[in-house]
Amino acid sequence: MKNHNIIFFTNCNFPLPFSLLNSISSFSLFFLLSLFLQPISTSSSSSLINNPPPLPILPIPSASQIQWQLGNMALFLHFGPNTFTDSEWGTGHAHPSVFNPINLDAAQWVRVAKDAGFSRIILTAKHHDGFCLWPSEYTNYSVSSSPWRNGKGDVVGELAKAAKEAGLGLGLYLSPWDRHESCYGKTLEYNEFYLGQMTELLTRYGEIKEVWLDGAKGEGEKDMEYFFDSWFSLIHQLQPGVVIFSDAGPDCRWIGDEAGIAKPTCWSLFNSSSAKIGGTDSRYSGEGDPYGHDWIPAECDVSIRPGWFWHPSEVPKSARTLLDIYYKSAGRNCLLLLNVPPNSFGLISDEDVQVLQEFTKIRDSIFSYNLAENALVDGSSTRGDDEDVRFAPANVLKEGIYTYWAPAENQPTWALYLNLQDSISFNVLLIQEPIHMGQRIIEFHFDILDDEGVWSTVVRGSTVGYRRILRFPIVESQFLRLVIEKSRADPLVSYLGIHLDNFSHLDSHLDKTSISGSEIRQQITLNNSEISAV
């Protein structure tokens, strides 16, 4: 009998004769044990010497990276002259007079973002056309030359005020490519110009949570060398708590597409030296690197509409499409950055608001309650003394990353067992790791026990990280098992949830790692062999 079953029955309050254990089937043993399984005692002795927590495995995230990851979703706002000229990449020659959002209400933007569950809001303070949404001292090509607010307006300032009042983080995008300024193409002169504008943005508007920049530039444009290292150093100096986004970090990276979809395997580990802003391999960006020396998690950007700026002829994606994107971004260890562009009146359009409201209701209906909330949980082993609840298996039912289950060191198997105390139907698995301890899990599978006492695998997964969500056809069971097959170090699990999604079209949107109902039955022979071994 393997170690995980021995540990399992030692946590029961009912002693079982060893002869009985040898004579009953695996299913009967599991069922019998579940009847007597009780939560681990929380009593402690004043003389108890606790084991220290396991050693974090490098690299690990900074405090600002953890805060960024906990945010889950951010709202992107592409706004500027393109909104009024019905274009995506402005030429830099549109007259400032075209910019006149007569009903602009930054508080509405923030309200929409907060109601939909977004933790921060990122504005295109300057897009490729070079037009500045704040009154910059380095150019006249800005709101100060427009009729909006009689040339006295400041979009960045109004958004900063509204975001602060609502408790949302503020991020800013300052495009390196500038199609208006004559100094663009003159390396030293333009780098000084760019840093001058960046300094304005980072010193006038309070705390900035994220600075967003990329290497986008049209073909045939002027050659330009950007002093990225100098930019990053100054940004961190002026805003110590900021997260900088680019193709290569240094704090979070591009996922490699603009569809908002991460790879099924997605590491926060990365080698920034292997990436080049504007020229990074999309597969490397998407998957990360299990041998990476840097912690640079991925951000998935996508627009609610076909374009990034508002166009009167376009309509938003459906709420169910956004749900599918959510599973493949926030559900794959990434942050979802959803662009919702304000219209020419300066408001987020009603049809976009309606979709976001529906998207929020759907997410809440699926994830607001963990169907395993009242489960009895045990593990193949537990670190330290049984009276030390810091590493107990039951911790996986507590929300948050700072409590977790930790197995004993140097174990041959790693598994969590759940007795739901009743048979429950579900089709979604959510797992989290305590990322402050490093990203560890490489491969895992999730099983249910059927009425015949057979463990059947319903879904397989690779990386977990901050959050991994997997879908599969609806199954029903009382007894569940999470088996971690490979890990960079002793695996740690901070949260495990099961949910029911009645909205996804599971026949066409399943994760590639999931297993269909017919395939479950094909696993019976393999699983019988596995159970016989234990």
Q: How many CB atoms lie within 10 A of CB 302?
A: 22
Tokens of 243: 């997260």
Give helix 350-367 / helix 319-327 axis angle, nearest 10°. 50
- Stated as kind and residue range, the H or E segment containing 299 is strand 298-303
Q: How many CB atoms lie within 10 A of CB 521?
A: 12
Give helix 155-166 / helix 187-204 axis angle, nearest 10°. 40
> Closest Cα partner for 170 from 254, 255, 75, 79?
75
Residue 113, C-beta contacts closer than 8 angstroms, at least 6 positions apart: 75, 121, 168, 340
Amino acid symbol at 30: F
Q: Write out the chain's pLDDT in tens, 534 residues.
A: 333 333 333 333 333 333 333 334 444 444 444 433 444 444 444 455 778 999 999 999 999 999 999 999 999 999 999 999 999 999 999 999 999 999 999 999 999 999 999 999 999 999 999 999 999 999 999 999 999 999 999 999 999 999 999 999 999 999 999 999 999 999 999 999 999 999 999 999 999 999 999 888 878 888 889 999 999 999 999 999 999 999 989 999 999 999 999 999 999 999 998 888 887 788 999 999 999 999 999 999 999 999 999 999 999 999 999 999 999 999 999 999 999 999 999 999 999 999 999 999 999 999 999 999 999 999 999 998 767 799 999 999 999 999 999 999 999 999 999 999 999 999 999 999 999 999 999 999 999 998 889 999 999 999 999 999 999 999 999 999 999 999 999 999 999 999 999 999 754 344 544 333 333 333 333 333 332 222
**pTM exceeds 0.85, yes or no:** yes
What DSSP designation does 104 have? -
User: What are 220-223's contacts with CB under 8 Å, separation 24+?
Assistant: 221/177, 221/179, 222/184, 222/185, 223/185
The phi and psi torsions of 193 (rounded to 5 degrees) equal -60, -45
Instruction: List alpha helices for 343-485, DSSP H.
Output: 350-367
d(CA 275, CA 272): 5
* Cα 297 to chain centroid, rounded: 9
Strands 415-432 and 468-487: antiparallel
Q: Which domains does the chain have, with CATH numbers?
A: 61-217+225-366 (3.20.20.80), 374-497 (2.60.120.260)
d(CA 433, CA 395): 12
Tokens of 324: 């599918």
> Closest Cα partner for 208 from 163, 252, 249?
163
